[in-house]
Amino acid sequence: MTPNSRGALMMMASMGAFTLNDACMKAMSDQIPLFQAIFLRGIFTSPILAIAAANLGVFRIALSRRDWNLIAIRSIAEVAAAYFFIAALFKMPIANVSAILQALPLTVTLAGALFFREQVGWKRLMAILIGFLGVLLVVKPGADGFNVYAIFAVISVIAVTIRDLAARRLSPEVPSMAVALSAAVSVTIFGAIGMLTQPWAPVGQTEALQLAGMVFFVIGGYIFSVMAMRVGEISVVAPFRYFSLLCALLLGFFIFNEWPDHLTLIGSMIIVATGVFTFYRERRLARNYGPVGLRVR
């Protein structure tokens, strides 16, 4: 398989795992406060990742100061993304939150052009602009259906974009497991600090099963998300995030009895269509002109 094909499969695996984790987290929201949920997930996830990292010899690998700085930036972005996303997830339908996150391929492509000097011509720039208009249909600022937590979801998009760009700049010798472990520990510490501001809620059998599902799926999401952004080209791999929207729609309908309104569905289709266009455009130009970046388009 080509690097782009491997990256695409890893992205789909990551998005599927994260969406299932989101469903477990949302199901727990009626009984467990936000910071406690973040902490409980992390207190089980971090040791598992640490054991796996130790078995892989990650702790014996010396990293440069540059890589440590990038890992720190990525971890801070992970903390911000986790808080704002989960806060939105607790208060919004899972499909609505997922629809806003579908702007990620557009933001990552735009950021790749701004910071990595990847060539993005006017057609893809127009697609990105139209895609952002689709986001506005989902968020509905100023409308009766506006939910302030939709802004939280938008902030999480910005944070995840920074996270993925930081992962992209890491040296090839940096183990993905080390990056995932750093993110998990950072989010866990953040949850522990935030938990001091909320009362402790008892964890029953149902919540324990939901927690187990969260731990399992978030570990897969962490690992595959790092690997996906380090394999292949950003503009090719990123659009496969759309797999999470399909998962969110199905989970929202069958588990939470939720279905997006017409504006959300239209906005989601616009976002997906513009993202698919950027993917198609990138692939077509790569075939015609060889390696990405040889020509401006």
Task: Note the pLDDT of residue 22.
Answer: 93
pLDDT computed for residue 81 by the predictor: 95
In a domain, 295, yes or no: no
Q: Given this model, what pLDDT does residue 297 score?
A: 30
What CA–CA distance (Å, rounded) separates 154 from 131? 13
Residue 152 within any structural domain of the chain: yes
**Joined tokens for residue 29:** 């929201």
- Domain, as residue range, for 279: 3-289
- Mark 200-214 as b/e (b = at least 16 C-beta within 10 Å): eeeeeeebeebbebb
Q: From CA 225, how far away is CA 17, in angstroms rounded? A: 10
**Residue 257: DSSP 8-state:** -
Per-residue confidence of the chain (297 residues) as pLDDT tens digits?
Answer: 788 889 889 989 998 998 999 999 999 998 999 999 999 999 999 999 899 899 989 888 889 999 999 999 999 999 999 999 999 999 999 999 999 988 887 888 888 888 877 777 788 889 999 999 999 999 988 666 678 899 999 999 999 999 989 988 899 889 888 898 999 999 999 999 999 999 999 999 999 999 999 989 988 887 887 788 778 776 678 778 788 998 999 999 999 999 999 999 999 999 989 887 877 776 666 555 443 332 323
CB 107 within 8 A of CB 158: yes
Q: What is the pTM of this model?
A: 0.84
CA dist 257 and 211 (Å) reads: 21
Pick from 240, 268, 272, 270: nearest CA to 252 = 268
Residue 122 lies inside a defined structural domain of this protein: yes
Residue 294 covered by a domain: no
Q: What is the number of alpha carbons within 13 Å of residue 271 lying toward its C-beta?
A: 32
Q: Is residue 233 part of a domain?
A: yes
At position 200, the amino acid (one-letter code) is: W
Give the pLDDT of residue 39: 96
Q: Which residue's structure tokens are 């600090």? A: 193
Q: What is the pLDDT of residue 60?
A: 87
Is residue 193 situated within a structural domain?
Answer: yes
Tokens representing residue 229 in the block = 């952004």
221 lies in some domain: yes
Domain count, the chain: 1
Asked if residue 181 lies in contact with residue 116, where contact means CB atoms within 8 angstroms, the answer is no
Contact by Cβ (8 Å): 140, 290: no
Which two three-digit tokens encode residue 25? Answer: 């987290």
